[in-house]
Amino acid sequence: MTVSRSEAQATITNWDTGYFNSADGYIQGASLTDTPTSAPPSEQFQTTDPYNGGTGTGDNSYVDFIPGTTYGGGAGSGSGNNSVWFGGVYAEGPGIVDQAIYKNFTSSILNATESATFSIDFRLIESTNIWDDSFSFDLRDASGTTTLVSFLISPIGGGLLDISGNGVDFAQIQYSGLYNLTATLEGSSWDVAVSTITVGTNGLGDVTSFVTNAPGAVSSGALAGGTAMDFESVYISWLLESGDINDWGDNYMIINQMNVTSEVIPEPGTWAMGALLLSGVAATIYRRRKAAVAATAVES
């Protein structure tokens, strides 16, 4: 018997401005707060570096329309899927060295043979500062204390970036290009592909179509801890190269969309229930046909 697999949505987020708070942080856009309330609980993001109104530091993310990156809505419309800017944009300072915006969700994976897929579209904009800070997509457990796999995006000079996962180098990409990173976790292992995204835009700069090229780089490895069943939080981190909150790079990441989905195999109990239902339907059909035959015989 062929085992059937089905796609189950663990969480999906389109980075709508309604999921952020405009009362804190950057005044140029809708900024992330450490206690978001405007989004449904399943869609809320938090930060490890809350904005400090006294020092003007922390909470270094905001949402805006980015021509060539933003999906739909139109410039200044406030609708559609606006993009998140995260990092040293506008030279606003962080409050801690390794800050992150993060999101928790409830996994739908039930056993070791099922898998979870993390997908994110992003750009990294080059710094004019002496420091080119790094960024990472850190996939963790529900507590946020155990890293399953971390994909590090590090500047290497000459307008290039290195991407590695748990210490495995597997890709070099150009600053400012639009890319997709898709990673699949299954059991105690991971595999990943990085692809270039090409976009078409309308007069307002909306992304009207995009085609993901064949994967430009792929790799795989063992999870640093836990299994795919433990994957219940995503941390997007800004890592200061200088190690000094008073001396940060002004490069930054633009993120358009992030998805987490899971591939679920129905439980044996589900198969058994399905078999019972099918047998019940078959029995009913058989009885009805038998009764119809008997009625015909009586009439004749």
Q: Summarize pLDDT for 240-270 with one digit per residue, the tens.
A: 999 999 999 999 999 877 888 888 776 555 4
Maximum Cα interatomic distance, the chain, rounded to a whole number of Å:
99
Residue 91 pairs in a beta bridge with none
Digit-coded pLDDT (tens) for 89-127: 776 789 999 999 888 888 888 888 899 999 998 999 998
Residue type, 295: A
CATH topology of domain 6-265: Jelly Rolls (2.60.120)
Q: Which residues of 77-96 are buried (b: 16+ CB within 10 A; e: fewer)?
A: eeebbbbbbbbbbeebebbe
Rounded Cα distance, 168 and 286, in Å:
61
Residue 295 φ/ψ, nearest 5 degrees:
-65, -40
Which candidate, 183, 180, 150, places its Cα nearest to that of 164? 150
pTM metric for this prediction: 0.80
Provide the residue type at 163 as one letter.
Answer: I
Please, which residues have CB within 8 angstroms of residue 130's CB and are 6 or more apart in sequence? 249
Residue 94, amino acid: P
Distance CA 75, CA 81 (A): 11
Listed by start position, the domains of the chain span: 6-265, 267-300
Contact 149, 168 (CB under 8 A): no
